Amino acid sequence: MVEDVVRTLGFLCMGSRLRRIGERLQADTQQVIDEAGLSIQAGQYPFLAAIDRAGPLTIGELAQAVGITQPGATRTTGQLLELGYVDMQPAPDDQRRRLVSLTDKGQELVDHSKKVIWPRIAAAVADLCGDFDGPILEQLAAIEDGLAVAPLARRSPVKEEG
Amino acid sequence: MVEDVVRTLGFLCMGSRLRRIGERLQADTQQVIDEAGLSIQAGQYPFLAAIDRAGPLTIGELAQAVGITQPGATRTTGQLLELGYVDMQPAPDDQRRRLVSLTDKGQELVDHSKKVIWPRIAAAVADLCGDFDGPILEQLAAIEDGLAVAPLARRSPVKEEG
DNA sequence: ATTTAATTCATAACATGTTATATAACATCC
DNA sequence: GGATGTTATATAACATGTTATGAATTAAAT
């Protein structure tokens, strides 16, 4: 059995490790979704949830809401259009913006998911994470806030001045 | 300003969120590496570190060590070969296995990184994460162990039996 | 008012993960 | 000891993130 270096190296490989765990969690989440017979990707859910919460959003707002870049939001929105879960139309006051809204089918999926799938996923993840003393969600929030305040490159830099 | 749904939804979007933070951390790490004038990708470091710690490893062992699948290990090893940091030769006893070892150039990079870059990155990440009460590395270990014991789909499932 | 700059989304090219599958080498079993 | 299965790696196809850049529309400026 080979040593898990990412784990061994601790803070040094924190980025790789978070990504790795995130990918694993999302794959597991996908399994729950698939077992429920829903045809949607785990990564597409936050888009629907964002529109459900805030009403129709533009591509740029969706990107912000789910925390990815605009081209990623464009692509996923295109997929959701194909699937018939969202509709898109130019904003009346600004032809550059595209307002993305839920279709009836999309709203139904969201409503059903809120009742059946999302609580189950949240409970399973809480079961996985929540039993430890430190409240991990708050820690993640603090990390995100910390990164916004100062990126790694500005933290504990090598002393360059005398 | 648009609400950050991934953050708002908490445990439900834990996978997306960990991935997102991991990507951000790795991008930041890359910046530190670039500023130090080293020509290597952040994601390639764990491979070199694994060989440095354990001695020559096969492709499969590397995949295990860094926690990705074998095709990913094959690709990254190919890149490290191109860069001249590793060398590859068939295992003497089993021609299917390829033993990947550090070249002199690779060993120099590792030695230099251990002195100059890695401590800096680890310190910066610790600065970012370490100040909160819960020891996040232990929590991540517990999450990984928990996933190995039972995937999400087997946690808090919908009651199907009576 | 026409030119210039800024904004919004789309698209291309790339990075790096995945799954599925092919190929070569080793192991096993009558 | 040759057929059959298993294992290790490579490769193809895909998923989903990124950066860089182009096209259309709006805003600003002289």
Q: How confident is the model at residue B139 (pLDDT cuts 50, 70, 90)?
A: confident
Looking at domain A5-150, its CATH architecture is Orthogonal Bundle (1.10)
Q: Which nucleotide is nearest to B43 (CA to C1')?
A: C16
Tens of pLDDT, residue by residue over A25-72, are 888 899 889 888 898 999 999 999 999 999 999 999 999 999 999 999
Q: Give me the CA B62–C1' D2 separation in Å, rounded.
A: 35
Q: List chain B domain ranges.
A: 39-129
Q: Rg of the Cα trace of chain A?
A: 19
Tens of pLDDT, residue by residue over A91-133, are 999 999 999 999 999 999 999 999 989 999 988 888 887 765 5
Q: When comparing pLDDT for B145 and A75, which is higher?
A: A75
User: Are B147 and A11 inside 8 Å of each other by CB?
Assistant: no
Written as six digits, the tokens of B79 are: 């890149």
pLDDT at residue A85 greater than cutoff 90: yes
User: Are B146 and A128 inside 8 Å of each other by CB?
Assistant: yes
Q: Which amino acid is it at B37?
A: G
Quote the CA–CA distance of A118 and A134 in Å, as a whole number.
23
Mean pLDDT on B38-44:
92
Tokens 């690779």 -> residue: B106
Residue A131's Cβ-count burial label (10 Å; 0-12, 13-18, 19+) is exposed
Task: Look at residue B162 in the predicted model and tell me its pLDDT.
Answer: 39
Quote the CA–CA distance of B101 and B88 in Å, as a whole number.
6
Asked if B42 and B36 count as a contact pair (C-beta separation under 8 A), the reply is no
Minimal C-alpha gap between B82 and chain A (Å): 22
- Which of A7, A24, A76 to mutate to test binding with chain B, by most B CBs within 10 Å of its CB? A24
Question: Yes or no: is domain B39-129 CATH 3.40.109.10?
Answer: no
Q: Is the CB of B46 under 7 A from strand C?
A: no
Written as six digits, the tokens of A104 are: 């009836």
User: Are A49 and B17 inside 8 Å of each other by CB?
Assistant: no
Mean pLDDT on B57-69:
96
Tens of pLDDT, residue by residue over A4-24, are 999 899 888 888 888 888 888
The 3-state DSSP class for residue A101 equals strand
Could you please report the per-residue DSSP string of chain B?
A: ----HHHHTGGGGHHHHHHHHHHHHHHHHHHHHHHTT----GGGHHHHHHHHHHSSEEHHHHHHHHTS-HHHHHHHHHHHHHHTSEEEEE-SS-TT-EEEEE-HHHHHHHHHIIIIIHHHHHHHHHHHHTTSSS-HHHHHHHHHHHHHHS-GGGSS------
Nearest to A46 among B6, B124, B140 (CB): B6
Q: Is the CB of A101 under 7 A from strand C?
A: no
User: Are A12 and B121 inside 8 Å of each other by CB?
Assistant: yes
